[in-house]
Structure 1
Amino acid sequence: MSTKTVSLKIEAYERLRAARRYRAESFSEVVLRASWPEDTTTARELLASYKSGRPTFSDAELDRIEAHIRQQLPPEDKWAER
């Protein structure tokens, strides 16, 4: 089994250590059983929001989306002569 070395702030280390179920539980075991809530919207939630008429995205979210779109380049035309 290969391993990686990571650096943690003291607060993060203490939280990780406190999350162990038993003294000999490794940090790898703690991390592997951990779950982090995802701040995502499902398609069902998005559709319900759209149908309700309430705003689907905040202005800040729309600004981020638009900025990302502006940064994207069109795909390369694989049929164009070079």
Structure 2
Amino acid sequence: MRTKTVSLEAEVYQRLRAARRYPGESFSEVVLRATWPEDTTTARELLDSYRTGREHFSDEELDRIEALTRRDLPPEDKWADR
């Protein structure tokens, strides 16, 4: 079986670890059990909403987007000290 190595923030690691159903359950099994909402907006739907003047995002959604954008820092430059 092929594997990939990923880096996780400590909080994410703890949440993933806590989601295991039994001590020997692998993180791969936990992720495979996970579900994500399917109610996404397509680019066509977003464009149509702009054209018709409908509200695109609620104030709460905009606040969440702004908060996530502030947290989204570029990755550390691993070559900076070389």
Taking structure 1 as the reference length, the TM-score comes to: 0.49
Name the TM-score, length of structure 2 as normaliser.
0.49
Q: Which has the larger radius of gyration?
A: 1
